[in-house]
Amino acid sequence: MSEIRIVDIRDEAAFALLPPCADPTFDHRTCDYWEDAERGSKSHRASWLTAARPAPEADRRSGEVALNPFAPPPRTGPAPNPFAVDDEADPLADNPFAPRRPKPPRIESSAPRKLALLGRGLAVFGSYAKVLLLDEEPAAYAQFGPLSAYPRALHLRELYPQLPQAPLPAVITCVATTAAARGRGLGQRLVASVCDDLAARGFAAVESYPESDTPPDATSAATPGFWIEAGFTRVVADERFPVMRRELE
């Protein structure tokens, strides 16, 4: 019997589990289609898979006339505030009776660009993506989050003033299954997990915005039929950009 495990994308180890797209010209690991409403792309971009390295010290000093060996090292950030509370410090550290609170998760600055996008809300919202593993092999991927995290979704939703404005829904922007794992209901199982998670985080509804006239392997948001099977209702019957919605309990 196959084993299924669903992993939240919270760090580079989990990010490495993102499965390939069925169309090799696209790449979940470099897609910012929903995060950038004007220039976002689904395309594979190799440069996104490695973090930008800081410039060598010699390059940073290239604009200086001469090196002063007695000068203090240059300050790259704002002036220190002696009255500010250190974000990394636990304000209850000096209280022996207070429970220790874990540090909020964070993505390192050296992380790939897409992982940085997925990690924007870790400390407040939680993860923005999940991977479904089938016998420990990546088989399906979903990206989701608050509507405010995805400008393209916001822009699309503005086209339909009849949609409920409060409370704003969460969105599932992407769901995909590898070609080898299709036909087993894994995408549906992953969406069910995402919906349960969003309900636990306090969302009353979730929406998705499939593209009806796009080939299945070229869309990031599946098809209207997929969402209906997942318990969603077509609340806007636009021929090209329908809106699918599910109330959460």
pTM, entire model? 0.79
Contact 34, 220 (CB under 8 A): yes
Q: Is it the case that residue 191 has pLDDT exceeding 90?
A: yes
Whether the CB-CB separation of 165 and 140 falls below 8 Å is answered with: no
Both tokens of 190, joined, read 């992953």
Highest mean pLDDT among 121-125, 161-165, 194-198: 194-198
pLDDT at 217 over 50: yes
Distance CA 127, CA 197 (A): 10
Give the mean pLDDT of 173-198: 95
- Residue 22, pLDDT score: 85
Q: Which is more confidently placed, 211 or 39? A: 39
Helices (DSSP H) in the chain: which residue ranges? Answer: 12-15, 57-60, 113-118, 151-157, 186-200, 224-229
Counting residues of the chain whose pLDDT is more than 70, the rounded percentage is 80
> What would the mean pLDDT of 165-193 be, rounded to a whole number?
94
CA atoms within 13 A on the CB side of 79: 3
- 141 vs 74 pLDDT, higher one: 141
- SS3 state at 139: strand
Using CA atoms, how far apart are residues 42 and 3, in angstroms rounded to an integer?
A: 30
Question: pLDDT at residue 64 above 50?
Answer: no
Task: Annotate 144-157 with b (16+ C-beta within 10 A) or e (fewer).
Answer: bbbbebbebbeebb
pLDDT digits (tens, 9 = 90+) for 4-40: 999 999 999 999 999 999 888 999 999 999 999 999 9
Is pLDDT larger for residue 12 or for residue 83?
A: 12
- Grade residue 173 by pLDDT with cuts at 50, 70 and 90: very high
Full set of structural domains in the chain with CATH: 4-47+105-247 (3.40.630.30)
pLDDT of res. 228? 96
Cβ atoms of 24 and 44 closer than 8 Å: yes
Q: What local confidence, expressed as pLDDT, does residue 63 receive?
A: 44
Q: How far apart are CA 25 and CA 42, in angstroms?
A: 8
244: Cα separation from own chain's centroid: 20
**Out of 75-89, 109-123, 177-191, which region has the weakest mean confidence (pLDDT)?**
75-89
Query: Which one is predicted more confidently, 237 or 84?
Result: 237
Among 166, 232, 162, 153, CA closest to 194 = 232
d(CA 61, CA 188): 54
